[in-house]
Structure formats: C-alpha cells, structure tokens
Amino acid sequence: MLVEEEFGTADAVHTIDFTNNVYVATRVCIRLPDLGTLNMAEVQVMGFRVRVENAVNLALHKPAWQSSTVAGGDASRAVDGDTNGNYTGNSVTHTENNPSVPPEWWVDLQFPSVIREIIVYNRVDYNSDHLVGAVVSLHRMNSDGEWEILKEAVDQPLTSDAIQTIDFTDDIYVATRVSIRLPNPGVLSLAEVQVMGFVRGPIHQIVSPMWGERVNLALNKPAWQSVTSNVDGDASRAVDGITNGNY
C-alpha cells in the first residue's frame, strides 16, 4: 500500500486530497473498517498520465561517485552531458583495477524519481569490453532510513555496445539513486549515464507537458468488489461515468 486516507460521512460528494505529494499508483481501493454494505455511485480518480516521450535526464550534473578513480577519470564525467566515448575528450570515467574488489559507480538523483529507462554510453576508443556483465540497479531509502535495492536489472546486463538502453517500464519504479557495478574485479569506464524519468515532489512542481492533462483515470477501467448482492450492484457501476446516486 502506497498511502491510505480515512473518510466517510453521509455527504453526497467526497473529495479525498492527495496533493501533499505526487503518488504514482496503479490501483485504488475503498473499504469499510467494519462489516456492512458498501454502495458507491461513482469514483473518479483524478490525476495525470505520464507521457513517456517527455521523460528528462534526471542524472545530469547530479552528485556522482565511484569505488576508486585513476587517470583523472572522475565519476562526475558520466553525468556532465558529454557522450564522447574517447578518453582524450576528458569525459570518460575510470576506476582502478583492484584485484579483490569489483568496481561500482553511483549517482544521487536527490529526489525520489520515477525511472523509465537508463541509457549508458560506453567508452569506445579502448577496451569497450570492460563493461560486459555490468549490472544497473535502482536504490531507495526505506522507512528505517537505510538504503535498499529497489530493482536490479540482472536480466539486462551491459555489453560492449557503444550505446545501451536498460528498460524499467515493466513497472513503476520510484528511486533516488542509481548504481552500475561489475560482477567481478576489473576496470569500470563510462562515457555518460542518462537516467530518463520524472521527478516526484510537491504538486506545484508538476509540469503539464510532462504529465499531460488532468483526467479521470478510473473511467471505464476494470473494477471489482468483495461481493455483489442479488440486486445487480456491480463494481463497474462506480466507473461508468454516471454520478446519479439513485439506485
């Protein structure tokens, strides 16, 4: 459960406010706290559909670090906006070759963000195969204030390709940090890492072109309930677009 709000009066129309934050959810539930009968004329879930084509690079110029640095290959080079994969262009990261510790690279997005895809630009002038097998992971802070792995894309390991896209559109992932690590000791070099997605935050931060028009997201969507009585009060009646409260 993402968030829960209590309401319930005899009023004809109720509005439950969720504008204290941006909540990304796929299902909405209404339940009684005790035994009884639940009747609803209509439920309108007002919100925004995310426009994937308007995702932005959340990692650009954000704080980045890595397990070690050699030859001036600082972690920040992977978020400087320069995708040049030639090391002489001064925009490729470089860790040391520690024989006992697998290298890793991190970026802090600074805000919980919806991650849709991550585009990785590899070094192209030398040893592009160093990236083979690297895994991209999403991280979030849990309720105990500890960092945890939200999603580890082990099914999409990086290769020696110059440009690679790791897809996270199979679900809604809200993360604050992204890491790339090699499974074994070696050298990790990255030309650029673009974390494409959307920032969560206060409602006033929503940009209309990014999120689209505010609409009733529940209209004519699949609905179900714990039980339906013999008077044909089907769950779908609450999302049929009719607000008439007379049975």
Q: Given this model, what pLDDT does residue 205 score?
A: 46
- CA torsion, ordered 203, 17, 31, 170, to nearest 10 deg: -10
pLDDT digits (tens, 9 = 90+) for 197-221: 987 544 434 444 445 567 898 999 9
CA–CA gap between residue 74 and residue 64 (Å, rounded): 9
CA–CA gap between residue 173 and residue 237 (Å, rounded): 31
Looking at residue 100, what is its pLDDT? 95
CB atoms within 10 A of CB 227: 8
DSSP the chain: ---------S-S------TTS----S------SSSS----S----EEE---GGG-EETTTT--EEES---TT--GGGGGSS-----GGGT--------TTS--EEEEEEEEEEEEEEEEEEEP-SS-GGGGTT-EEEEEEE-TTS-EEEEEE-TTS---S-SEEEEE-TTS-EEEEEEEEE-SSSS---EEEEEEEEEE---GGG--HHHH--EEETTTT-----S---TT---GGGGGSS------
pTM: 0.71
pLDDT of residue 208: 42
Amino acid identity of residue 80, one-letter, is D
Instruction: Give the pLDDT score at 4.
Output: 74
d(CA 88, CA 106): 23
pLDDT tens digits along 106-122:
999 998 888 999 999 99
Low-confidence ranges of the chain (pLDDT < 50): 201-210
Give the pLDDT of residue 230.
64
Interatomic CA distance for residues 73 and 154, integer angstroms: 26
Domains and CATH numbers, the chain: 1-49+212-247 (no CATH), 53-201 (2.60.120.260)
